[in-house]
Structure 1
Amino acid sequence: MLNVNLRHLHYLVTLAETGNFGAAAARAGITQSTLSAAIRGLEEELGAPLMDRSGRRMQLLPFGETVVERARDIIAQVGELPEYAARSARPLTTRLRLGMIPSVAPFVLPKLLRSLRAAHPDLSLSVREGLTQSLLAEIRAGRLDAAFIAHMPSVEEFEYTAVAEDPFLVALPPRHPLSGRAALTLADLASDRLLLLDQGHCLREHVLTALGRDGLVDEHDVRAASIMTLVQLVDFGTGITLLPRIAVDAGAVSGTGITLVRYESPSAARRLVVAWRARSYRRSDYLALAEHIRRHCLPGSDGAAAAE
């Protein structure tokens, strides 16, 4: 039977994150010799080397990479045990650390905070806005519990539940020649300058997919850091963009001269999901959160739920 020390798993994960024995030892608050002995002890217990120490920088072996991922999972599950015991009788009654992407947070968060306070007063919610990949990395590391994001291929390693389909609308500048159309296709938009969010935003990738990535010339697009900046650029006549309905229904284009037209494409929507680490003890919490968002936080919902 294996006799693996949880503290040693923490040391291994820290070493993998820093890539250096000295930096890892400093972060863990131990000496480098103690760290080295702990890693060697872990290798002896597992019966195989975890890393290649022959170069100037420590390099995890394939087996070591697998063990690090399992160690993160074990550490996160152990960390959840006290909260799991505390909330086993009722969901959404303790702490929940939630990530949200920037193309969702401004349009959902106000309703979410109000409605959760009313429906689940014992819940301690903290919210972090960030790009999809960074939020997923925070979940892997145990620093976030779940994230409300748009589905991407990188979500497949997590468990998740769909919350809503979020269709795209074409946002046209004032007096644009196509503003009288009931619907538009990719061919209709080929000659217009495309406005996009900057690299790293999943909304950028969804828009590129919806508009046909191969037909776009990247050096001609204009990039922004937020949906509201895109709205201002379109209103000024700089170009066109696709806006998610969740932003439009929350008033993103109010007070502008922008015309919104339905976009026809097999990829004319993104799927919004709540994602969390697979095999989490708190699965019932995350399913309850997703259901709460569906009922109370999307456009058209009441946004001020009574206690459930």
Structure 2
Amino acid sequence: MSHLDLDLRALDIFVTVVEAGGMTAASQKKGITQSAVSQAVGGLEKKMDVMLMDRSVRPPALTPVGRTLFERAKSLLDTARETSFLVRAHQQRSLPRLNVGMVDSFGTTVGPHLVRELMDEAVEWSVWSGLTKLHFKRLFTREVDVVITEGSIPADERIISHRLLQEPFVLALPVSYEKPVDSLEELIEDLPLVRYSSRSLTGINIETHLRRLGLEARRRFEFDTADATLAMVGVGIGWAITTPLCLLQAKTHLPSIRCAPLPGPAFSRSLMLATRRHELESLQKMIGEKSREILEQRCLPEISQFAPWVIKEILVGDG
């Protein structure tokens, strides 16, 4: 047998079995029969004359040599995918399809300009927004190629990431509320808090901040998008804790909203750009550069019109 006689498809199935936790789950994920999964793993063992999985236990566990192959196979498959991307990109001068996950506020404000600037880099573009937590998961399951997501990126050798933006949380108040805001306690007494969904990272971070301050606001209104949340503020239902980019996303409601600094300790959120390592790293660099350019040349000037005091607190890029 040649030492280079490795079946990439069989390796991919083997890695999926390990990551999915079994052959049944792997067959469902790959859309093939369980018999085909078993044959692929068995074929690898026969070709290499080793036992990769201990089938005497349930579920089957990796043998030491199986663990070695699993770790090496992931790197080998990443290299193969990167090579495929590069060859197709060179031949077609663009990727056949690019799947991008974007946090909603970024997708609405920066996203259209970003896609217009880089539209020739892919024949087809598919942009997903929605809950941030799903974006990163989809990066690992290969449902998306690039994510622009909120919060820190877990340390993982398979991922390369950069910060695009750090922005502070601020207050959004109805224009009819004219009192100066010296404390959140007083504001909670005067008006209901309009919350971001507790399923969103923004909502979770805001609740964590309030608990850290020992504050409790009655739970009455909760929405899953910045536009809906700030629309409620605009009609005078209550107040919200939000960010400048979210306010820009909901700019149709800005004439009815007063933006003010958050009293007490400051806290902020970061938007991160991430891709799988060894895949699309040159495109990631282009996306990062164009995103920062759009933020500086388009978004910050617009934000300065309704909250000039906040510009000095917004950091674009890693610096």
TM-score interval, normalised by the smaller of the two chains: 0.7 to 0.9
Residues of 2 paired with 1:272 and 1:62: CA distance? 40
Given residue 176 of structure 1, which amino acid in structure 2 is its aligned partner?
Answer: Y
Cα distance between partner residues in 2 of 1:265 and 1:104: 27
Aligned length: 290
Please give the residue correspondences for 1:260-279 in structure 2 after superposition, counting only pairs within 5 Å. Answer: 260-264=259-263, 267-277=266-276, 279=277
Give 1:75 deviation, angstroms.
3.2
Q: How much does 1:147 deviate?
A: 0.7
Amino acid paired to 1:173: P
| AA of the residue aligned to 2:229 | L
Q: How far off is 1:258 after superposition? A: 2.1
Would the alpha carbon gap of residues 128 and 174 (structure 1) be closer, same or farther in structure 2, given more than 3 Å must change? same
State the secondary structure of the residue aligned to 1:263: coil
- For the aligned residue pairs, the C-alpha RMSD in angstroms reads 3.8
User: Within 1, Cα distance between the matches of 2:272 and 2:184?
Assistant: 26
Which position in structure 2 is the counterpart of 1:130? Answer: 130
Is the aligned partner of 1:75 residue 2:77? Answer: yes
Unpaired runs of at least 5, structure 2: 303-319
Alignment of 1:14-25 (within 5 A): 14-16=16-18, 19=21, 21-22=23-24, 24-25=26-27
Q: Is the 8 A contact 1:76 1:142 kept in 2?
A: no
The aligned counterpart of 1:230 is: 229
Q: SS of 2:253's equivalent?
A: coil
Structure with the bigger percentage of helix: 2
1:176 matched to 2:177? The reply is yes
Contact 2:227 2:249 (C-alpha < 8 Å) held by counterparts: no
Shift of 1:82: 2.6
Could you tell me which of 107, 110, 113 is aligned with 1:108? 110
Give the drift of 1:135. 1.5
| Partner SS state of residue 112, structure 1 | helix
Counterparts in 2 of 1:189 and 1:46: CA distance versus 1, 3 Å: farther
What do residues 25-78 of structure 1 show as CA deviations (whole Å, max 9, x unaligned)? 4665655344224334556759665466644xx466697789767655543442
| 2:101–2:147 CA contact under 8 A, matched in 1 | yes
Specify the alignment match of 1:241 in structure 2: 240
**TM-score of the superposed pair, with normalisation by structure 2:** 0.72
Correspondences of 1:1-308 after superposition (within 5 Å): 4-16=6-18, 19=21, 21-22=23-24, 24-25=26-27, 28=30, 31-40=33-42, 42=44, 45=48, 50=53, 54-55=57-58, 58=59, 71=73, 74-85=76-87, 87=89, 93-94=94-95, 95-117=97-119, 121-124=120-123, 125-152=125-152, 154-157=153-156, 158-176=159-177, 178=179, 180-181=180-181, 186=184, 189=187, 191=189, 193-213=192-212, 215-217=214-216, 220=219, 222-252=221-251, 254=253, 256-264=255-263, 267-277=266-276, 279-297=277-295, 299-300=299-300
Deviations 1:110-138 (A, max 9, x none): 22233334xxx344333122322322122
Q: Is the 8 A contact 1:51 1:60 kept in 2?
A: yes
CA distance in 2, matches of 1:113, 1:74: 31
3-state SS, counterpart of residue 232 of structure 1: helix
SS at match of 2:99: strand
Alignment gaps of 5+ in structure 1: 303-308
Q: Percent sequence identity over matched residues?
A: 24
The verdict on how the C-alpha distance between 1:255 and 1:267 changes in structure 2, with shifts beyond 3 A counting, is closer
Q: Counterpart of 1:103 in 2: which secondary structure? A: helix
> Which whole-Å CA distance do the structure 1 matches of 2:131 and 2:251 have between them?
20
Describe the superposition over 1:191-217 as per-residue Cα deviations: whole angstroms up to 9, x where unpaired. 454332223322223323444446354
| RCO comparison, higher one (Cα < 8 Å, 6+) | 1
Call closer, same or farther: CA 1:73–1:224 in 2, change over 3 Å: farther
Structure 2 CA distance, aligned partners of 1:61 and 1:189?
57
d(CA) in 2 for partners of 1:104, 1:222: 24
SS for the counterpart of 1:104 is helix
